[in-house]
Structures are given as structure tokens and as C-alpha cells.
Amino acid sequence: MNQSSPPTTSSSITLENIQVTRWAVILTTTHGTMQTAYQDPHIISGSPSVFEMTLVNTLAGRLPVNHAQTITSNWGITEEIIPQGHNLLLTFNLKPLIHQFQVEIGGGDIIQISFK
């Protein structure tokens, strides 16, 4: 089986910042096209429910990985960045009654996920 070479670091996107607001999370990257950088945003029902989204060919930069951090918002409890090969899995444990989200892209290097 012939596999293509992994992407080089120079073509990778770096996740620079995660800003949590009252009803949203805003992700900022160094460059890139967020329309193709994120995949499969979804909520997994449970107690708590979990929002997951993959950032493709993205590095965590200086952000902490593999460590759930408490967040202060109306929608979330914790956030975690999990490296998976050349991708990052973002997970957010949600507060009860949060079951919907909307993804918006700005400037190519910003993505906002709003929760209801």
C-alpha cells in the first residue's frame, strides 16, 4: 500500500489562541483556510455532553495539550486539545441543556462556534 508523505511543518496551520466568550469559542490560527481546516464538528450526548471538532494539519503551538482546562462560560465546563498525528481534536464538555451549535468563519484564519 502506497501512502503519501505526511504534510511538512511549514504547511501546517498553528492554533494560536482559543478565546472563550459567554456563548461561543473563537479559534485563531496563524494562517490557513478554516473552511478546509476543520472537520466533523458534532455533539456527543452524555453526562456531560461533549462537543468535538478536528482541526486538520494543525499544530497546537504554545497551547497546552492533553490536559482538560476549566473554562468560564454559559455553555462549557472544560476544554482539551488532543494531538492526533498531524491533526488536533478539540473537545469541550458542555453544560446541561446545551444541544446546538453554529460554526462561523471570519478572515480565513478565525472560526467561531456559538452554542445554544
* Structural contact between residues 91 and 66, judged by C-beta atoms closer than 8 angstroms: no
Q: Give the single-character DSSP code of 45.
A: -
Q: What is the pTM of this model?
A: 0.86
> For 51-84, what is each residue's pLDDT tens digit?
999 999 999 999 999 999 999 999 999 999 999 9
pLDDT reported for residue 7: 40
Residue 12: C-alpha distances to residues 8, 32, 49, 81 (Å): 7, 8, 30, 16
pLDDT band at 35 (very low <50, low <70, confident <90, very high): low
* Structural contact between residues 41 and 113, judged by C-beta atoms closer than 8 angstroms: yes
